[in-house]
Structure 1
Amino acid sequence: MSRARLLLLCPGQGDQHPDMFKLARTNPAANTLADRLLSGHAGDDIYANRIAQPLIVAATLSMWEALRAHTPPPALVAGYSIGELAAYGVAGAIAPEQAVALAAQRAQWMDDCASAAPGQALLTITGLTLASASKIAEQHNYHLSIETGEDSCIAGGPAAQADQLQQAIEAAGARSRRLPVAVASHTPYMRDAVAPFAQALRATPFQPLQAPVLAGIDAATVYDQDRAVDTLSRQLAEKIRWLACMDAAAEAGITVALELGPGGALSKMLQNRQPHIHTRSVADFRTLDGIVKWLDRAAEDA
């Protein structure tokens, strides 16, 4: 795989499911790690913020533990929302246990923000330019949360105005869908979580990054703790420019991308945006060996 430049993608919330550790657990080391990471972080409602965030980080890092001895060193790591914290675990900067603990703290501070301004919502906007979507959103006290395409994004704001915003979006000839989320993440509604999360990150021992991480807020590459603390904390209350992150990966010469799961939303977006990059998700495979063989083939074609 000497010619290949590998991007590892770390997903956010939305595609978690009860069997999301099953494939990683077929590797003994990953099985042991999963047991350690899940201690104290399990729960019945895997979609509740306080359970979902540490679970997703644990699942991502367990999968990487299962694969890392059989893949080339990544050239770049990128994470979507909570996945950006997992990305620093994948890059070797933060120990897995610390990453999961930080995810739990992050979720709690976000929940505190939601409790301070109850009745929050997220919804998708498809079929409008980002500038038009932002303008309509602002008229209903919503803010763009994540830019996912040239004409697609997610916006967050007060649930009480969601119906009005959706009607305005449809009147403009576009489409909208309400997401099952009660936290307006990556908007100013989360601003009170930024400082405590930054403080927690500063207090976390960082090791040298084994691969740079893309910052969601500006798609720039991060190589050190100071920049990681700044971008990871700010993304709680600032929009994520995922569209720019996908373009930055292409500009970095990435030839192969693997989403570490759960789910395959990031790999689908990247495949649509940058079709020349060989892209799959671990969710596409039934065995770890199948993933490794695909990586080998993709590298040969790169």
Structure 2
Amino acid sequence: MSKKVVLLFAGQGAQKVGMGQDLAGAYPKVKAMFDRANEVLGFNLTDTMFNGPIEELTRTSRCQPALYVHGLAVLEALKERVPSLEIAACAGLSLGEFTAHAAGGTFDFETGLNLVFQRGSFMEEACEETKGSMAALIGGEESAVRELAAECNVDVANLNAPGQIVLSGSIEGIKQAVAKAKEKGIRKAVELTVAGAYHSRLMKSAQDKLAAVLQTTPVQMPKVPVISNYEADAVTSEMVIKNTLERQVTGSVRWSESMQLLLKDGNDLFLELGPGGVLAGLMGRIQKGTKVLTIEDTASLDAAVAELGA
């Protein structure tokens, strides 16, 4: 099997207690990375990752750096096991886009870690200030979902897969959208248990604060293509990187289009580095039969290495 792979990185919501613990025990380089993360952040992130409680790990300012560190730790262990691994491209869902940039060489581990911690903190503050909500809409046409969003004055947050779109906005607006979804031919609408209205205009204060941080953050063009959620295309310059990472905070995550772009380019082997297998599930809806291996711990790493023929 080809060892040329596309790396996919998980977004917020994939976190779970225990993430990375067995990898840290098995791979000294991973343990060193976790120790470095604690040092950079000035608090014991890995204790929360390994031991919880889940309420603390779910906090936006904790789960974003946790998923970032975990994704890159899995990549570190994978590279140790498969030195011949060739990366064709990187992509990540929402927060995962920052992990993808670090994996691609846009910025170093520490720079990215500081960015995601600040992003998570700004978004946590915005959630507390605005009190928003989100809803998943299953089995509806995109045009119908957009019409519903406009009528209820909420935003399209995620275009995850055909027939799976997430809306985001005020609590009242989301409740109204859920109630009216059937009228628009949408099969199912479920309000999500989230801290706030991610990828909506209610995150504008977080976007503005992140923009100021990005202005002074050193970035370079990645060594491999990195796909922007905001544009559903590979980034083309340092300015585009900063602009798309900023605009992604309130903009739609165009995941389905991003994956279709990678598939159109002939990529047929994807590795999801992060807990839960959410991205593998979405790929099954985007293009059935596409090979996605999810790696989150030593057992799934062993299985992936065997499958890669390494």
Same fold (TM over 0.5): yes
Aligned residue among 50, 54, 63 for 2:74? 63
Report the Cα offset of residue 208 of structure 1: 4.4
Q: Encode CA deviations 1:193-251: one digit per residue, 9 max, x unaligned.
A: 22331232232233441211000012111143221101111100110111101101101
Say whether 1:277 aligns with 2:272: no
* 8 Å contact kept, 1:61–1:90: yes
Give the aligned length.
Answer: 295
Match of 1:20 in 2: 19
1:1-302 mapped onto 2 (5 Å cutoff) = 3-25=2-24, 26-39=26-39, 40=43, 42=45, 43=48, 44=53, 45-69=56-80, 70=82, 71-117=84-130, 119-173=131-185, 174-283=187-296, 286=299, 288-296=301-309
CA distance in 2, matches of 1:274, 1:178: 26
Report the Cα offset of residue 168 of structure 1: 0.7
Scaled by the length of structure 2, the TM-score of the pair is: 0.88
CA distance in 2, matches of 1:231, 1:296: 36
* 8 Å contact kept, 1:23–1:288: no
* 8 Å contact kept, 2:182–2:188: yes
SS, match of residue 32 in structure 1:
helix
* 8 Å contact kept, 1:285–1:291: no
Report the Cα offset of residue 85 of structure 1: 0.7
CA distance in 1, matches of 2:248, 2:62: 20
Share of identical aligned residues, percent? 25
Structure 2 unmatched runs, 5+ = none
Report the Cα offset of residue 97 of structure 1: 1.9
* 8 Å contact kept, 1:8–1:258: yes
* 8 Å contact kept, 2:136–2:164: yes
Report the Cα offset of residue 38 of structure 1: 3.5
SS, match of residue 156 in structure 2:
strand
SS, match of residue 74 in structure 1:
strand
Q: Encode CA deviations 1:112-150: one digit per residue, 9 max, x unaligned.
A: 323332x20011011211110111122222111000122
* 8 Å contact kept, 2:90–2:104: yes
Q: Encode CA deviations 1:264-293: one digit per residue, 9 max, x unaligned.
A: 100121133223532110148715332222
Alignment RMSD: 2.0
> Once superposed, which parts of structure 1, at least 4 consecutive aligned residues long, lie more than 6 Å away?
none
* 8 Å contact kept, 1:206–1:225: yes
Report the Cα offset of residue 61 of structure 1: 1.1
CA distance in 2, matches of 1:114, 1:259: 28
Report the Cα offset of residue 192 of structure 1: 2.6
Report the Cα offset of residue 155 of structure 1: 0.5
The aligned amino acid for 1:32 is A
CA distance in 2, matches of 1:150, 1:267: 14
Are the structure 2 counterparts of residues 277 and 53 from structure 1 closer, same or farther at C-alpha, using a change threshold of 3 Å?
Answer: same
Structure 1 unmatched runs, 5+ = 298-302
* 8 Å contact kept, 1:218–1:244: no
CA distance in 2, matches of 1:111, 1:162: 19
